[in-house]
Each structure stands twice: as structure tokens, then as C-alpha cells.
Structure 1
Amino acid sequence: MALIQCDFYSEVLGLSMSMNVILPQAAPSQIGMASHAGQQKHKTLFLLHGLSDDHTIWLRRTSIERYVAELGIAVVMPAVHRSFYTDMVLGGNYWTFISEELPAIARSFFPLSDRREDNFVAGLSMGGYGAFKLALNKPESFAAAASLSGALHLRDLSERWPFEYNLIFGSTNQLNELPNCLFLAAEQLAASGKPIPKLYQCCGTEDFLYEHNAQFLEHALKLRLPLTYEEGPGEHEWGYWDKQIQRVLAWLPLK
């Protein structure tokens, strides 16, 4: 595998930004690694971080590089600070950045496929929200999305931490609008007739976001979305996410 850290300028944000990228490499003699790289443009997983982390966290807390080596896919891990992947009221346009600018920049740097069936998104906590936000609002861009312990019900969280959420969303009213409300985005997509990305959702039963995940699960089932759901013992911590990201990789429709 090739691991590359990229610093680049975002026209949307007017800032220098960073992302880590894992690229497939055919290196059968590499000790302890099974590696694979195809001849075509790479299938890509956009892997999103949580509220307290950055673009380096998946590499530091999990073995994601080793997990994807034999799959022959690229992994793009961007930084979005504490933005909730949103065009902030008092801050940058991170939704526009993550949904439009970042994929274009990554594909200009590396041989990444732009076909819907070759693109996937996953994330944890705030990144789980970002992953479902992308999939439900941009279904033409992603074949599958996975939320690990996702912050899927932001209205409740905004009432617990109003100051930070007001900096991002301005008021809780925006949490009831597209693209920010996942419940509304799911309803709109289910009624649209558009192809719906495959969805994977998991949460530990001891996680403080468990009830929020249960509420989204109930909503998704009513809408008959193609959702795979898993739960089990676990808290909001990296031991759980390191295990679950392996299950996500096995679930992805790569063939």
C-alpha cells in the first residue's frame, strides 16, 4: 500500500486543508501483507472522522491500511475540523467542500474512479452523520454508506450542547431542513424513485448515542430503506470501531 498525506488549498473554504490517502499497490513480496492493485481507476472509500479527531485518526487508532490492502481499494480520509460536514453559519462551507470539491480534488491527484458503483463512504460518530448525509443527499454519487455509532439525531444533541451547534447551524430550525436532517433526507430519497445506496448502521448498546441510532433505524425500516443494522456490547470508543470497520469492509459491494 502507498500512504500519502496531501496538503492542498480549498477554494470553497479559502483554507489550506489536509487529507490522508491510502492507494492500492501490487507488492506480493511485502512481508506480512497481502496486497492487490487493479489496472483500472481505483474504487474509493471516503472515510470520515469524528468531532474530536482529524484526518489522521483512522490510521492512528485502527489498522485500516492493513485491512484494505487485499481489497484493492483507495481510502480517502479528509479533515473537516468540528464542522459536522455542514455549511456553517459561523464558519466554512464544509458541506460544499466534502460533497463537491473534495472528490474532484482527490480524483485530480490520484487515479480514482468517479463511477457511482465504485464509490463508498463511511464514518464514526460525527463522521457517521456525515456518511449518511452524503449518501442520502447525494445518492447519485455513492453506492454504499456506513455509519458507526453515528450522531444521527442532531436536534437532541443541539439541545444538550446549544452553543457549539448554534455556531454550526445557526438555529435548531436548520436541523429540520435539507441537507442537514437525515430523517427528512431519508424520506425524500425513499419517495424520489432514485437508486438508493446500500446502508450499514451499527452502534454499541452502551453507547450514549444508542437511542438516537434506534430512532433512525425505526425510521429507515418504515421507509423500507436497504439498511443492514448491527448492535452489540460496546461503548463510544476505538476498540469497538476497529472491529466494526472490518465488518464494514466485508459488507461493501466491491465485486
Structure 2
Amino acid sequence: LNFIRWQVFGVDDGDLSKCHNTDNDNRYLARLASESGKPLPKIFACCGRQDGCYNAEKEDLQYFTTLPNPFDVVFFNSDGIHYFDFWDRWLEVFIQWLPIRPRKNEVFG
């Protein structure tokens, strides 16, 4: 992956403060959702401890749980980096976590 993190958020000069209170600011979006009073989605998150985003991920998720109308956050971590082999290991855990159950009349082969 040949990009610099701030480029993902549409910032050309590396000044991430330009993202504050925009649609590229996870905390801003979480705060708006919390203040809306509407039901909030549950959040499943997993991150490798060697991932460059690990600390920011933990901080954001902690913030989400401290809002007046907090998010229900499930966070897993293990050794790994921001890459497919890490995500592949956690995909089955995520699928099992999803609140999707077959209907009684459905038959699966």
C-alpha cells in the first residue's frame, strides 16, 4: 500500500486538522450520531498491534463509548499489521458476531 495516511482523507499537505468536523472525522460523525438520539449501530473492530493505525483506532473507539449516547463497541486485537492476512483471520469472527440468523423455514445445503 503506497499511500500516506492523510492522503486517504483528501488532505494534500499532511495537515489532518483540516479534517476536523468534516465527514472525514470519525469522532465528529460519532458525536453527530450520538446527539441525534437515534439508535446507534454496534461496532465490531479489530486491529493488529503492529498496525500504524492501532493507537488511533483504540482512542477513537474509547471516545465512542464515552459519548452521552454511547456506541456499543467490541474491540479485538492481536499481533498483525494493516494487511489482508490479518483481516482474513478475523473475518470468520466478524461473521459469527453479526446478528444474522437463518429464518426457521430456510434450508441451507
TM-score if structure 1 supplies the norm length?
A: 0.34
Q: For the residues of structure 2 that align with 1:232 and 1:221, how far apart are their CA atoms?
A: 21
Within-5 A mapping of 1:57-68: none
* Count of aligned positions: 96
- Bigger proportion of residues as strand: 1
1:211 aligns with 2:55: yes
Deviation at 1:220, TM superposition (A): 1.3
Paired residue for 1:225?
71
Within-5 A mapping of 1:175-194: 175-194=19-38
Higher RCO (CA-CA < 8 Å; seq separation 6+): 2
Deviation at 1:188, TM superposition (A): 1.1
Within-5 A mapping of 1:97-136: none
Q: Which runs of 5+ in 2 are unaligned?
A: 102-109
Work out the percentage of aligned pairs sharing the same amino acid: 23
SS in 2 for 1:184: helix
CA RMSD of aligned residues (A): 2.6
Question: Which one-letter code corresponds to 1:230 in the other structure?
Answer: F
SS in 2 for 1:240: helix
User: Out of 238, 241, 250, which is 2:84 matched to?
Assistant: 238
Paired residue for 2:104?
none
Kept in 1: contact 2:11–2:18 (CA 8 A) = no
CA deviation string 1:189-212 (max 9, x = no partner): 111111211111110111111111
Q: Which runs of 5+ in 1 are unaligned?
A: 1-51, 53-81, 83-156
Distance change (3 Å), C-alpha of 1:166 and 1:183 = same
Paired residue for 1:197?
41
Deviation at 1:178, TM superposition (A): 3.0
Deviation at 1:237, TM superposition (A): 2.3
Kept in 2: contact 1:179–1:185 (CA 8 A) = yes
Within-5 A mapping of 1:5-16: none
Q: For the residues of structure 2 that align with 1:209 and 1:191, how far apart are their CA atoms?
A: 26
Q: For the residues of structure 1 that align with 2:39 and 2:57, how far apart are their CA atoms?
A: 23
Kept in 2: contact 1:166–1:172 (CA 8 A) = no
Paired residue for 1:96?
none
TM-score if structure 2 supplies the norm length?
A: 0.73
